[in-house]
Chain A
Amino acid sequence: MDDIVLEVREFKKRFGAIKAVDGLDLEVRRGDIFGFLGPNGAGKSTTIRAMAGLVRPSNGEIRIFGHDVWRDRKKALSRVGMLVESPGLYRYLTGRQNLEMFAELSGGKHADDIKRALEITGLTDRADDKVKNYSHGMKQRLGLAQAILCQPELVILDEPTDGLDPQGMKEVRELIKNLAGECGITVFLSSHLLHEVEQVCTKVAVIHKGQKLADGKVSDILTKRSRIKITIDRTKDALTAIKEKGLSADISDDGCISVQIEPNSDAAEINSFLVEKGFRVSAVIPEKTSLEEFYFSIMGEYSGKADKA
């Protein structure tokens, strides 16, 4: 239990008649880089706002380091750095003054922490310029800098690469990996960029319309959904045989059979099965599922269920 850094239990949030989040459960453990995915309006931002104590849960609770965020916010947030949506910064202050102020509120103004945060985010040269003169990307970096001030143990980032150029996005990805790897910081990352999440995160949860559709280790999810592509004669007969075996398969655009395989199943076993049935197998090529494919497949499944309902 000590390993659990962030815990969301039965979290519900209604705004009038609208259910923004409907019974969400999440668990983030120490050292995780946790990706939080979902389309616009899925309830991601509401959940993150509740993690920051900005939104009061209608039901359920959110605990950080074992402390309820709404009832015991000072203890819950004392070791947390956050970037909630676009960075809210004082435009009439300099970047350094912003950081000094947020550092004071986070437990103390440590010159070394501020220097380090500026260095990490590449803002040292512009630290004494007023924020109103910053570009969107620089504001985003400053938002990140305030999130990593005062050596947090958990960093919650909502769309941290929003507005950054490709180089900036790459740097932020590296930063997140470093935070988790070298600094041992647990990271909770909400992003629309599936490629980014796949590259960075170790665990992921997908929500839609306020409900969790899937969660787990990224490696497990991708394996669970992995496919093999089989080049074979009498394609239609082979497809029927594979389906009769209980596997999910279809014929791809190039005329091959694409088979979804279970995590522990062996591609060689399917090959043997087809050969025994008298088919001539020319090639068996493993296909790695991307997080994007996984995401759209579960979104598709959800839409299918919703249509039937």
Chain B
Amino acid sequence: MNIVAKQIKLEIFKLSRRGRSYLGLTAMLGLAGLIVLGLAQGPPQIGGASPQGFATAGSFLNGGFAAWFMLRVTLLFFLPLFTCVVTGDMISSESADGTLRTLLSKPVSRESVYCAKYIASIIYTAALTLFMGTAAYIIGSIFLGRGSLTTFQAGTIIGAQGIYIFPETEGIMRLIGAYMFAALAVLSVGSIAFFISSMVSNSLGAIGGAMLTLIAFQIMGMFEFFKPINSFLFTAHMESWSGLFVSPIPWGQIFKSACTLCAYSAGFFTLGLIVFRRRDILS
């Protein structure tokens, strides 16, 4: 096993031993339970596309809908927050605890340490996102049952509007795709936290910095004034996953959004690497 693979293994081992890593998983499990409990009482209000505005026969509330709804309500805040709690802590906490000092006094390159930590962050982000979807689907299926996937498009993100109903298997496939896209979206915020983490010794600064960027970009997206640059803001692309729940799927837009999100992640990864390679470790 080469040294980078060894380091990735060690980073995942460290993540598995830290209580903080389980904070997001526990929170997502709790949120899934909360959503299923809410759905069991009746359909939710979804932006301008309230299902109460339509005449529906039978129940569309099931495990698939719970997973879809979970993604819709957590992607813009909760999921990035719990991702940043870990990615923003990856380097800064080691710097604060002095373990970075011990780690970097070993015969390993700074680049390999940084890359191993980033790859571990990607794995954690993907695991958290997929865990969230799986938890919502399983809890929803247990308490609400299974069946066709019904989704509601409010038209704000990808322009589509209305109700879309998919057979169960197709719905699951679309959910898997949506959650994979969501992991990409959340990683872009996580990468900002990781970048800040490479510069500071306080993980709160890294988490707060990334979340402030997320909120600031979301606010900018609400104003006409910022419209010319809106398509360059990663927040404008985070909800493109909803395109996977219309027919036909707007692949072009989803691809463009995925590329923008990847560019953000790659950009902040590279910036962080440049900083980390040259930084004096004084803590």
B105 touches A53 (CB 8 A): yes
Closest Cβ neighbor of A130 among chain B residues: B17
B280 touches A54 (CB 8 A): yes
Instruction: Determine whether B97 belongs to the interface, using a CB cutoff of 8 Å to chain A.
Output: yes
Q: Which residues of B are found within 8 Å of A84, using beta-carbon distances?
A: 101-102, 105
Interface string of B94-120 (1 = CB under 8 A from A): 100111111111111110000000000
B108 touches A55 (CB 8 A): no
In the bound complex, what is the Cα–Cα distance between A87 and B99 (angstroms)?
8
B107 touches A146 (CB 8 A): no
Instruction: Determine whether A179 belongs to the interface, using a CB cutoff of 8 Å to chain B.
Output: no
Instruction: Determine whether A86 belongs to the interface, using a CB cutoff of 8 Å to chain B.
Output: yes
B98 touches A85 (CB 8 A): yes
Within the complex, what minimum Cβ distance (angstroms) separates B226 from chain A?
37
B100 touches A56 (CB 8 A): no
Q: Which residues of A are found within 8 Å of B3, using beta-carbon distances?
A: 105
Within the complex, what minimum Cβ distance (angstroms) separates A197 from chain B?
22
| A49-B281, A93-B17 known; A87+B102 contact, CB < 8 A | yes
B18 touches A85 (CB 8 A): no
Instruction: Determine whether B222 belongs to the interface, using a CB cutoff of 8 Å to chain A.
Output: no
Within the complex, what minimum Cβ distance (angstroms) separates A54 from chain B?
4
Q: Please classify how large the interface on chain A is, using the bins under 10, 10 to 19, 20 to 34, 35 or more.
A: 20 to 34
| A90-B14, A101-B10, A105-B10 known; A55+B98 contact, CB < 8 A | no
A106 touches B101 (CB 8 A): no
In the bound complex, what is the Cα–Cα distance between A85 and B282 (angstroms)?
11
CB < 8 Å neighbour of A105 from B100, B106, B281, B282: B106
Closest Cβ neighbor of B106 among chain A residues: A105
CB < 8 Å neighbour of B97 from A55, A75, A88: A88
Q: Please classify how large the interface on chain B is, using the bins under 10, 10 to 19, 20 to 34, 35 or more.
A: 20 to 34
CB < 8 Å neighbour of B104 from A52, A56, A85, A92: A52
CB < 8 Å neighbour of A88 from B10, B101, B278, B282: B101
Within the complex, what minimum Cβ distance (angstroms) separates B102 from chain A?
4
Within the complex, what minimum Cβ distance (angstroms) separates B279 from chain A?
8
Closest Cβ neighbor of A146 among chain B residues: B102
Within the complex, what minimum Cβ distance (angstroms) separates B114 from chain A?
14
Q: Which residues of A are found within 8 Å of B103, using beta-carbon distances?
A: 88, 105
Q: Which residues of A are found within 8 Å of B105, using beta-carbon distances?
A: 52-54, 77, 80, 82, 84
Instruction: Determine whether A78 belongs to the interface, using a CB cutoff of 8 Å to chain B.
Output: yes
In the bound complex, what is the Cα–Cα distance between A97 and B99 (angstroms)?
14
In the bound complex, what is the Cα–Cα distance between A148 and B131 (angstroms)?
42
Closest Cβ neighbor of B99 among chain A residues: A88
Q: Which residues of A are found within 8 Å of B107, using beta-carbon distances?
A: 73-78, 80, 105-107
Within the complex, what minimum Cβ distance (angstroms) separates B237 from chain A?
36
Q: Which residues of A are found within 8 Å of B98, using beta-carbon distances?
A: 85-89
A89 touches B102 (CB 8 A): yes
Within the complex, what minimum Cβ distance (angstroms) separates B23 from chain A?
14
Q: Which residues of A are found within 8 Å of B129, using beta-carbon distances?
A: none
Closest Cβ neighbor of B103 among chain A residues: A105
In the bound complex, what is the Cα–Cα distance between A124 and B105 (angstroms)?
24
CB < 8 Å neighbour of A102 from B97, B106, B278, B281: B106
In the bound complex, what is the Cα–Cα distance between A92 and B20 (angstroms)?
11
A104 touches B109 (CB 8 A): no
For window 26-77 of A, CB contacts with B under 8 Å fall at 49, 52-56, 73-77
Footprint of A on B, CB under 8 Å? 3, 6-7, 10, 13-14, 17-19, 94, 97-110, 278, 280-282
Please give me the 10 A-B residue pairs with the lowest Cβ-Cβ distance, nearest first. Answer: A88-B98, A52-B105, A54-B281, A88-B102, A105-B106, A77-B107, A88-B99, A82-B105, A78-B107, A88-B101
Footprint of B on A, CB under 8 Å? 15, 49, 52-56, 73-78, 80, 82, 84-93, 97, 101-102, 104-107, 143, 146
6 new A-B contacts at CB < 8 Å, known A15-B280, A88-B97: A56-B278, A76-B107, A90-B97, A105-B107, A106-B107, A146-B102
